[in-house]
Amino acid sequence: MKEVFGTLANGEDVHRIKLKKDGLSAWIITHGASLHYLRLDPHPHSLVLGFDRLEYYIKQQDYFGAVVGRVANRIAAARATIGGETHCLDANENGIQTLHGGSDGTGVRNWEIRDCGSDYVVLEDHLPHLHMGFPGALDVSITYEILSGQQLKIDIYATSDRDTLCNFAHHSYFNLDGTDNILDHLLQIDADTYLPVDSNLIPLGGCQPVENTAFDFRKLRPVAWLNQPYDYDHNYCLSKARSQPRPVALLKGPITGVEMTILTTEPGLQVYDGKSANSIFPGHCNRPHQNYAGIALEPQCWPDAPNHADFPDIGLTAGDQYQQTTIFKFA
């Protein structure tokens, strides 16, 4: 079912598409190609954070449920060398670096609906050449589809007419219990290493072992470290390159017992515990979004990849196709 969710200042309508299959319901809005609401029968609450009014999506800056790009995460100094040429990018984070593709990245744009049915929707966007400083006119499409077995599948495809950078990520904040915070949620990540970062959340260098650190989620354990928040906003190094979709992480709500397994093609998983993703705007059912209200688990390539030769390459050659598949499987 498709309906108007709200209207932008330029007169464009933002639509909401409702999908359902096998006890899993997903509501998608065209603003940011965002996962607005996700419910698993028989639980009454949404498993993702979001807002009931479009104006709150527009005013907030934490990308609730959005698909961010053309380059997710951060690029240091808002500069990247592409095809031997240095490009100055939109420095939308603190005036010094690029975050999620710049101030007009896909996470804040109004996507077009190309096709939809009872359990799927296909959205698309076009980013012109030099949009936010990136070379190449880039066409991107995303398919949300509910599969049998209570699975939400997200396929992202993109092509460019010039060599460019491409690294998309889905940016939902998950809370499987519908409680005030996720610090007691149990998390497991299949990664032996992670990327330490500086004060601007830019990787300091190469991978470091998680063993004997607060970053060790190789066995299921609470998000909190020693019963306290640790302020995670780090990339876990799953592999050195994209692969076929495989299980990489598990999140479990201790109250409901709902489990979410993440399968993805991507070599990295950005984990953000939502330290500052609070909001003055009320979320679903007028619940406030407090600090740590949801955890973002974002399959993607590693941050600041253009400035690290040993990181997985996020270059997209003209005429080639970028493809990402991520599946959130519930039980």
Gyration radius of the chain's alpha carbons = 18
Q: Decide if 297 contacts 269 (C-beta within 8 A).
A: yes
CA distance 14 to 35: 13
Query: Which residue shows structure tokens 């005013």?
Result: 59
CA distance 320 to 97: 27
Q: Decide if 63 contacts 72 (C-beta within 8 A).
A: no
279 residue type, one letter: S
Q: Which helix (H) or strand (E) holds 67?
A: strand 66-68
pLDDT in tens, the chain (331 residues): 899 999 999 999 999 999 999 999 999 999 999 999 999 999 999 999 999 999 999 998 899 999 999 999 999 999 999 989 999 999 999 999 999 999 999 999 999 999 999 999 999 999 999 999 999 999 999 999 999 999 999 999 999 999 999 999 999 999 999 999 999 999 999 999 999 999 999 999 999 999 999 999 999 999 999 999 999 999 999 999 999 999 999 999 999 999 999 999 999 999 999 998 877 788 887 788 899 999 999 999 999 999 999 999 999 999 999 999 999 999 9
Q: Which helix (H) or strand (E) holds 55?
A: helix 54-59
Report pLDDT for 277: 82
Number of structural domains in the chain: 1
CA distance 199 to 96: 12
Q: Decide if 50 contacts 148 (C-beta within 8 A).
A: no
Nearest CA among 29, 37, 26 for reference residue 8: 29
Domain with 76 in it: 2-330
Contacts of 202 (CB under 8 A, 6+ apart): 74, 76, 97, 303, 304
The SS3 of residue 216 is coil
CA distance 264 to 87: 30
Going along 195-308, which residue ranges are E strands?
208-209, 221-222, 233-237, 246-252, 259-264, 268-272, 279-282, 288-289, 295-300
Nearest CA among 189, 139, 198, 192 for reference residue 164: 139
HSE at residue 75, side-chain half, CA atoms within 13 A, is 30
0.85 surpassed by pTM: yes
Contacts of 44 (CB under 8 A, 6+ apart): 178
The enclosing domain of 106 has a CATH number of 2.70.98.10
CA distance 100 to 103: 8
Q: Which residues are catalytic?
A: 171, 298
